[in-house]
Each structure stands twice: as C-alpha cells, then as structure tokens.
Structure 1
Amino acid sequence: MLSAGALRAHLVAARLAGTVTTSREESLRSYRLFAAGDPRVLLGLEPERSWDESDLLRLMADRCGVSNDPRHVSGPDVIDPDRTMAALDAFAERLGAVAAARAPVLLGTGHPHRLLAFYASLAAALSAAGCPVLTPAHGRCVDITTRFGVRTYRLDYVRGVAFVREPGTSRDAADGGAHTHSPLPVRAALSAAADACTPLPALVVGDHGWVCGAGQLGIETIGLADTDDPAPFVGEAEGLVSVTVPLDDAVPSRHYRPLTRYVLNRACLSR
C-alpha cells in the first residue's frame, strides 16, 4: 500500500507537482486565450460567467497553487502537491461511489502516450467491480480542426480507454494516438450511445475535451489537468466538473503508476 506521504514525495520527485515542466509563459498564454473565448482552450466548455485574466489567475492559484502575482511572467510553473493530494482523494471518492453503484463509465484521454495506462488501470478495476465500461462510436471518424487545418481521426479504444488516432495507424496500444484538446471525440461517443439507445455514462473520466465536453452536456466528470489548461478548473468552479486534479500531464507514463495504486486503494478498488 502506498502511503499519502510516499505519494506526495513521488509527486514532487517526478515533477508531477511542485516545480513542474509546464512554463509560466504557457500558462499565462492559455489564460489570455481563455479570457478571449478561444475554443482551443475552452475545450468544449461554455462558461456561465465572464472570466478575465485576473479572475483566471486567482482561480488557478486557488485550485493549483500557481503564483497569483501577475508580475511573475516566466520560468517553470508550480503546483501545490497538497492540492494534488486533496483532489486525488476526491477523485478516488467519486470512483468508489460509481463502483459501488455498478454504474456505466466512459474513459477517454487526449494524452494517449502519457496517460493511457493510468486510465486503463482504472477501467480494469471498475469493470471488475461490475461497472459497464462503455465503448460507443468505436471506429467512427471525427473531423478535428488543428493548426494544420481540419484533420480526420478515428475514435479508438484500447483496454477500455478512448482516444483518437490517425486513420490507417496500428491498433497496438497508443501507437498513432493523437494529442488533442478537442471535445468532439466525447460528443461523438455520447451521440452514438444516445442514437443506439444504449446506456449513457454515469461518470466520464479523462482530461481535456473529454472532461469539459461531457461536463458541458450535464454528465458528471472527473479528470486531470495541468496549469495551462484552465477550462477544467473553471468547469469545476461552475459546477460542471466534479473533480479536477492539478498535475503535470506530460511526464513519462511510468510516473503515473503510483497515482493509480493510491487512487484504487482509496476507492477500495485494489485487487
């Protein structure tokens, strides 16, 4: 069993929290774009109120622990590991509740190369607990606007976790998986489930557009987010996202394994 103290130390050592690899410049740029209503950083969220840059900086300081000083404009960003730990506990609590209810779940990621294994372990544990792990719209094409223009991706599932990949790429693990912030994949999945009159998820677990896109549609969501992704934290503040865990979402995949063990143990889903 991984103790809270050991996990906190790991978060800092692996730079999942503490001083992280995300730069202050990246974070502040995202806050400016969010305040301007740029869909690339809204991630499918439609905020109920107007959020300016100072509002977002205060929110992110409260939820993540970044500096609230607007004069701090460069260098690595910071995440308070105690805030990460508290959010992981809340994340585990929601997983435990959905497992106890044996309710259907949908898991998806915009970071398949980094986070697929983390979500796949959750999917396996939820399935073992009796939760249907949904895979709607498997193989469906989704057109997503990128900086290179509109590109067509295929919605795929590996070990119960959804992500998009380039058509024609291997179906092995996350090979060919694309990094995306778009809410279109989760919209396609939910639309397919509704059209087929199959169960909708009681909980969506993921990041980026998977969290914000589902939350905006009124489905409970929990997920992970970095300091340069303010949308999930805004969604949490406005009641559209149940739990957002602040952490660096782009460290090597192996560093998320201790989080998996901790969350599953806290959710009483360890095998």
Structure 2
Amino acid sequence: MLSPGALRAHLVATRLAGEVATPREAGLRSYRLLAAGDPRVLLGLEPDGRWGEADVLRLMAERCGVSDDPRQVAGGDVIDPERTVAALDAFAERLGEAAGRHVPVLIGTGHPHRLLGFYAALADALSTAGCEVLSPSQGVSVDITTRFGLRRYNLDYVRGVAFVREAAGRERGGAPGAHSHSPLPVRVALGGALEAGGPLPGLVIGDHGWVCGAGQLGFETIGLADTDDPSLFVGEAEGRVSVVVPLDDAVRSSYYRPLTRYVLKRACLSR
C-alpha cells in the first residue's frame, strides 16, 4: 500500500488532485446553476438549506480546496491533495464498516469508461467479505433527458457495477457505455429492488446521480466528485451523503489503481 505521502505525490503527478484539468469556468457555472436550482446540477438532490452561489463557492473551497476568490474565473481548478487523502481514509472506514456488518451494497457510476475498474475492485472485495453486491433491474429501460433530447438507455451491470448504455448500443454485459449525471438509474435500481422484495442496500457507492439520488431517498452513500459536481458536497454538508472524495473523475482509468489499493488496505479488505 502507498503511504499517505506517496499517495499525495501520485495524486499530484497524475492530476487527480493538485492542479486538475477541470476548468474553473465549469466549476463556477455549476455553482451558479445549483444556486438557481437547476436539476441538471442537483443530480437528484433537494437541498434543505438556501445555497447561494457564494455559499456554494465557500463550501467547495472548504471541501475541495478550490480558490474562494469569485474574481478568479478562468484557468484550471485546484483540489487540495490533503483533503483527497483525508476523504479516502473516511471512504475506506465506511467500506470497512459495511464489510464488517455484511450489508448489501449497490455500486453505480456515471463514468464507466474511467471508473469501472475502481468500483469493480470494491465490488469484488466486498463480495469476498460477505456483502451481497446487488444488481436489481438489470436490462430495464431508463429514459433520460440529455442536451440531445430524450434518449433511451438500459440499466446494465459489469463486474457488479451499474451504469447505463444506449438502448441501441452494444449487447448487454459488454464494454460499458454512457456518461451520465442522472439520478434516474439509481431510482430505477432501487425501485426494482423494492418491487422484488429486497434486499435493499445498506450502502450505495458511486458518483453523480447515483450518490445524490440515493442519498436523497435516505440511503447511506459514499462517492467521488470533481470540482464541477457541487451537489455531492452540498449533500455531504447537509448529512444526506456520508463521504465525498474530491478528485478529478475523468483521468486515465489506470491512475485510480493506487487509490483502489490504498482504500482496500485501509478498509482491511485487501487480499
């Protein structure tokens, strides 16, 4: 396992943290849209508090380490690697607790091309530890409104990880498909589990709408988020999300492997 110092160096070298590729403009735009209540940014979360644009910026500075200066409107964004490491430790603690209690888990991602390997390793470790890794509603259609209009997707699972693929795309069970921010897939999955008589997850792991959508429904959730995904951090601040790890969620998939090893070792789940 990497030491915390070596992990920090890896985060910075791969731009998972430190100076990241996510544009400052994208982050500020998301903060404005969240303050305006735009569902494209809320990702299924319905905040209790009143979150103005300045409030969101202050929160993101606190949780991620982005600049709190609203006059800085261009360039790349910054994530404090110390905050990332601390959140990974908390993430690992929740995983270990779930494994110790043998709770059912649901894992889903809106970044299947980048993060499938990270989540699949968690699914495998949790299954080995005695947790049931759920796959409800596999193959069920999910209609999602995108910038290209209403698109039909199918809910699918690969190696225990849920995501959506275009209904007219590749066969079920193949390489993962669509990038999605929508909370609809997790709602479909949880609804399917309920209709089937359970079990329901004791922990939901993921990103984007998988975290916010499940957290809004009262499920314990942990996940990953970039600086332009403020709703997860708002959910954490309001107590609907247990842990959010700030990092760039769109780098090479291989760059997440050391994080996987670190988290599983910290959670006492590595083989």
Q: TM-score range by the shorter chain?
A: over 0.9
Answer whether contact 1:138 1:157 (CA < 8 A) is retained. yes
1:13 aligns with 2:18: no
Answer whether contact 2:84 2:245 (CA < 8 A) is retained. yes
Answer whether contact 2:139 2:172 (CA < 8 A) is retained. no
**Which amino acid counterpart does residue 205 of structure 1 have in structure 2?**
I
CA distance in 2 between partners of 1:216 and 1:69 (Å): 30
1:140 aligns with 2:127: no
Answer whether contact 2:156 2:173 (CA < 8 A) is retained. no
**Which amino acid counterpart does residue 174 of structure 1 have in structure 2?**
A
> What TM-score comes out, normalization by structure 2 length?
0.98
Answer whether contact 1:116 1:174 (CA < 8 A) is retained. no
**Deviation readout 1:4-42 (Å, 9 max, x if unpaired):** 111110000000000000010000000011111110000
**Which amino acid counterpart does residue 233 of structure 2 have in structure 1?**
F
1:30 aligns with 2:23: no
Aligned length: 270
Instruction: Quote the offset at 1:208 in angstroms.
Output: 0.1
Answer whether contact 2:157 2:173 (CA < 8 A) is retained. no
1:194 aligns with 2:203: no
Provide the secondary structure at the position in 2 that maps to 1:251.
coil
Answer whether contact 2:207 2:223 (CA < 8 A) is retained. yes
Query: Any gaps of 5 or more consecutive residues in structure 2?
Result: none
> What TM-score comes out, normalization by structure 1 length?
0.98
1:246 alignment partner in structure 2: 246
Answer whether contact 2:227 2:248 (CA < 8 A) is retained. yes
1:152 alignment partner in structure 2: 152
Percent of aligned pairs sharing the same letter: 76
**Which amino acid counterpart does residue 149 of structure 1 have in structure 2?**
G
1:123 aligns with 2:123: yes
**Which amino acid counterpart does residue 66 of structure 1 have in structure 2?**
V
Q: How does 1:25-174 map to 2 (within 5 A)?
A: 25-167=25-167, 168-171=169-172, 173-174=174-175
1:205 alignment partner in structure 2: 205
CA distance in 2 between partners of 1:189 and 1:199 (Å): 12
**Which amino acid counterpart does residue 5 of structure 2 have in structure 1?**
G
Answer whether contact 2:215 2:221 (CA < 8 A) is retained. yes
1:259 aligns with 2:244: no
Give the CA RMSD over aligned residues.
0.8
Could you tell which deviates more after superposition, 165-174 or 65-74?
A: 165-174
Provide the secondary structure at the position in 2 that maps to 1:190.
helix
Answer whether contact 2:92 2:266 (CA < 8 A) is retained. yes
**Deviation readout 1:222-247 (Å, 9 max, x if unpaired):** 00000000000000000000000000
**Which amino acid counterpart does residue 102 of structure 1 have in structure 2?**
H
Instruction: Quote the offset at 1:173 in angstroms.
Output: 4.7
1:183 alignment partner in structure 2: 183
Answer whether contact 1:110 1:163 (CA < 8 A) is retained. yes
1:217 alignment partner in structure 2: 217
Q: Which runs of 4+ in 1 moved over 3 A?
A: 170-175
Query: Any gaps of 5 or more consecutive residues in structure 1?
Result: none
CA distance in 2 between partners of 1:174 and 1:42 (Å): 28
Instruction: Quote the offset at 1:56 in angstroms.
Output: 0.3
CA distance in 1 between partners of 2:73 and 2:174 (Å): 38
